[in-house]
A and B are shown apart, each in its own frame.
Chain A
Amino acid sequence: MAAAVDAVVVMDHRGKIQAVNDSTCRIFGYAQEELIGGDVGQLMPEGDRASHDDFLNTYLRTGRGAIIGTGRRVVARRRDGSLFPAALSVGRVPLADPPRFVGLMRDITAEVEATQALKLERDRSTAYLELNESILMSIDAERRICEVNERGAAILGARSHQLIGRDWLSLLHDEPERVRASMMLSAVLASGRVRDREFDALDAQSKRRRIRWRCIARREADGSPAGWLCSGEDLTERARREALSHIAQQRLAHVARLATMGEMAAGVAHELNQPLTAITAYARASERYLSMTQPDLDEARIAAREIAAEALRAGKIIARLRQLVRSDSENDRAPVDLNLLVTDLQSILAADARLYEARLQIALTPRLPRVRAQGVQLQQVVLNLVRNAFEALLDHPPGERAVELMTVHAMDGHVELRVTDNGPGIAPEIENRLFHPFATTKQAGTGLGLSVSHTIVKAHGGNIGHRAAPRGGTTFYVQLPTIEGE
């Protein structure tokens, strides 16, 4: 008993101290004689003494005591009145009558402080983890997920506890990606450096995501692999935006191609001006050379020869233009199913709808007669009209933007394509100029969309126009003659 580090206190059934060891004196700051015969209550805070007496009496009366044979944490009181946390276990001395008890007490101040510090540290790191917009994961040497932040789990469509224990590779989209990922982990382990790669991933709901994983290896104290720390950045949104901008670029290319034809015509006209200027100048010059009192025949000859050369040059420019036109007419008009044309555009249209946060409803009348058309150009018209419709709705809250695209039979062997929005309608001051170039109500618009569409539709022998929609908003329609109606 004397050698014990813990305080050992022997107490009788009235709570009087019968014996203490040296540690008790040291821990509590009493001399031995101050304790022996005294009440055990002096070793506890005043407020606990009454309940201690109750426990003791209850035990003596019933033989049941919560503390006997087990341990508990209590608050102990030193001689100077200061308090400290202690672990207490109490045993009854066998065969003693009246009963005697032995109490073992250990000062656990350092332990409690360490635990509190640990808890604080843990709270803090958890907070850091949750503050982060990335997925932060710790995985063990068998690639099982040991820890993941809630925010990261949410990105992966789950709660963190649902992910714990899962194989990290199961978050990847397919076998090749899993092979790539497992190779990265090995490389990270071998090099000890951080690596990052983008992966096609799956979330807990098997939805496809694009995630950039950054991993670093952890090792045990003995150098054996302990697993990896991984941070994942969700690039799905970015990838989606990139895809959308790709679509936008494609559409721009469409417009550009149309614009290019116009520019080429202007360029050819400009080029033709050069030989024409030269021819005019030479012709007038030679006229003068010949009418001089002493005609300058040499100059006149040069001029005549140059006129011929310049005329040939003009001819070549025109031949080039004709070539351009011919190559364009090679993908000339062919029978086109309007429904099929719209269906082909569906993914672009849907992407547009997402971009404008609008609802797009497509209603196609089946078995529509075909039209003779240049498909690419008609697609341009459809895109222009739908896009205009979306843009007309920008002042509506996102939930209320609705556009309907329909194909229907029209009078006299025509088919009609309708694009209806639920927007504010068309301002009267612009209504008459709607299909003129550069008429626009949009801040960012070129004002060419409807004008280009008008040109295309007219070239196809069709009509384009608009009317107020029955339930507010505007319907733009395109009517095209069908092949059967020809």
Chain B
Amino acid sequence: MNAGTPIVMVVDDDSGVRNAMRSLLKSVGLQSALYASAKEFLEGYKPSQSGCLILDIRMPGMSGLELQQELNLRGAVVPVIFMTGHGDIPMAVEAMQHGAFDFLQKPFRDQDLLDRIQRAVTKDGERRLALGERTRIRAHVESLTAREHEVLDLMTQGKQNKQIANDLGVSPRTIEIHRARVMEKMNAQSIAELVRMMLDLKHEAPGH
């Protein structure tokens, strides 16, 4: 899964701020996409696009907070950095509670913004990678037969062939064959790797 070059998406109703963002981001070699409203953003939004979202918290029409909630509803994973004005701290707190990546009070130091963008884009990349890895593991697990699945479970519990054969009431020789199949299908080099894969699947936070 390759989302291509990360893009910093900026949603602000103020064209002055919007264009300044473009200039600033370009000066550090970041690609940006500008949107004048939440609506405009939603119309062009592709969940597959990696990067991060810079969102003005106060906007006419759909506010930044509402856009965030809409994205949450759609299960979008893009990290959101809020730009707030003076006295918007309660709104910023709410945004953070709803899973915002961070917030910045206008006017801000450019370096503060760029640092946050850097971290947000990195996090987005990791998240997308993990997401891709998990998708791959899940596909492998689904290719197993029911018996191979049982063997996998017992293997990851650290059981030896003999024990597994006992548990399933078959010969250790049969288990050996199943075992080889599981390792092959899961594309795992070692038991340790197999355990890590299964842990990854288990720890996948629901909804994220």
Q: Which residues of A contact B (CB under 8 A)?
A: 266, 269-270, 273-282, 284-286, 288-289, 296, 299, 302-303, 306, 309-310, 313
Contacts and interface: CB of A to CB of B under 8 A. Distances in A.
Give the size range of B's interface with the partner. Answer: 20 to 34
Given A277-B107, A280-B107, A296-B27, 4 more contacts: A277-B106, A281-B20, A286-B23, A310-B20
Contacts of B111: 284
A280 B112 CA distance: 12
Contact of A285 (B27, B85, B87): B27
Contacts of A276: 106-107
Interface string B54-90: 0000100000000000000000000000010111000
Nearest to A287: B27
Given A273-B106, A274-B106, A281 B24 contact: yes
B85 A275 contact: no
B17 A278 contact: yes
| For the complex of A and B, 5 pairs with smallest distance between CB atoms | A281-B20, A278-B20, A288-B27, A284-B110, A285-B27
B46 interface: no
Contact of B85 (A270, A289, A302, A303): A270
Nearest to A276: B107
Given A270-B87, A284-B27, A299-B26, A306 B20 contact: yes
B48 to A, nearest CB: 28
28 contacts: A266-B86, A269-B85, A270-B58, A270-B85, A270-B86, A273-B85, A273-B107, A274-B16, A274-B17, A274-B106, A275-B16, A277-B20, A278-B16, A280-B110, A281-B24, A282-B23, A284-B24, A284-B27, A284-B110, A285-B27, A285-B110, A286-B23, A288-B27, A288-B28, A299-B23, A303-B20, A310-B20, A313-B16
A286 to B, nearest CB: 8
B176 to A, nearest CB: 63
B204 interface: no
Given A266-B86, A274-B16, A277-B17, A285 B106 contact: no
Interface in B148-162: none
A302 B14 contact: no
Contact of A281 (B85, B86, B110): B110
B19 interface: yes
Contacts of A277: 17, 20, 83, 106-108
Interface of B: 14, 16-17, 19-21, 23-24, 26-28, 58, 83, 85-87, 106-111, 113
B16 A310 contact: yes
Nearest to B58: A270
B16 A280 contact: no
Nearest to B87: A266
A282 B106 contact: no
Given A273-B86, A285-B26, A299-B23, A306 B109 contact: no
Contacts of B58: 270
Contacts of B20: 277-282, 285, 303, 306, 310
A133 to B, nearest CB: 50
A273 B20 CA distance: 13
A303 B23 contact: yes
B147 to A, nearest CB: 62
A183 B14 CA distance: 63
Nearest to B28: A288
A301 B85 CA distance: 28
Contacts of A310: 16, 20
